[in-house]
Amino acid sequence: MNTPKRRRSIGARPNPEAANAILDAAASLLERKGLRGLTTDAIAREARASKTTLYRWWPNRGALLLALYVRAKGDSATIDTGSLVEDVARTYARVFEAWRERGRLFSLIIAEAQHDDGVAQALTVFREERVREWLPTLRRSRERGELAENADLDAIAESIVAHAWFYLLSKRLDVDANILAKKVVGAWMRNKDIET
């Protein structure tokens, strides 16, 4: 009987072919067997990869789940329209549209983080990255005079991200993105007469 060959690793940096095979296997297992079926042994067997390779690239299940989510989500580039409210509104509109089709996975990750420390740790890192991504946008807004000089940019970024996650978890993705953006950042704007 021929044993399937294992895919070759190229060290700490994922080999794209092997990484895709592992993520494909994980996505298939998740679809067929749910989170309980998403074990390192099952993924390694289905992807024809070593468990060592999995742990090298994704040190815990949370990191792997988030890699699956990021791959499914696609483009996450920040938007620069010249208006903070418009940047936030367009980002919300894009993210909520994606979540209407593929938000279940991210909801599962957040739920799993409540009782799995590895998933919680990976989700914390992911959240911090999303918050940092907003800081250049917020600095530009402050330079344009939209935000006060002493505005707490970290707090604003946290609020933008937190509101998006809250609307996913409360199943309110049909919200008007423009109205939500004005509510989230309106209190921080120099001109607080933004209609909501």
Helix 40-47, helix 16-33: angle, nearest 10: 120
The neighbour count for residue 31, using CB atoms within 10 Å, is 10
One digit per residue, the tens of pLDDT, for the chain of length 196 reads 454 444 444 445 557 888 889 999 999 999 899 888 889 999 999 999 889 988 889 988 888 999 999 888 776 677 899 999 999 999 999 999 999 988 889 999 999 999 999 899 999 999 999 999 999 999 999 999 999 888 999 999 999 999 999 999 999 999 999 999 999 998 889 875 554 4
* Tokens describing residue 39: 């074990």
Q: Return the percent helix, strand and coil in the chain, to nearest 5.
A: 65, 0, 30
The domains of the chain are located at 1-57, 71-186
Give the CATH fold of the 1-57 domain: Arc Repressor Mutant, subunit A (1.10.10)
* Tokens describing residue 33: 């067997």
Give the CATH fold of the 71-186 domain: Tetracycline Repressor; domain 2 (1.10.357)
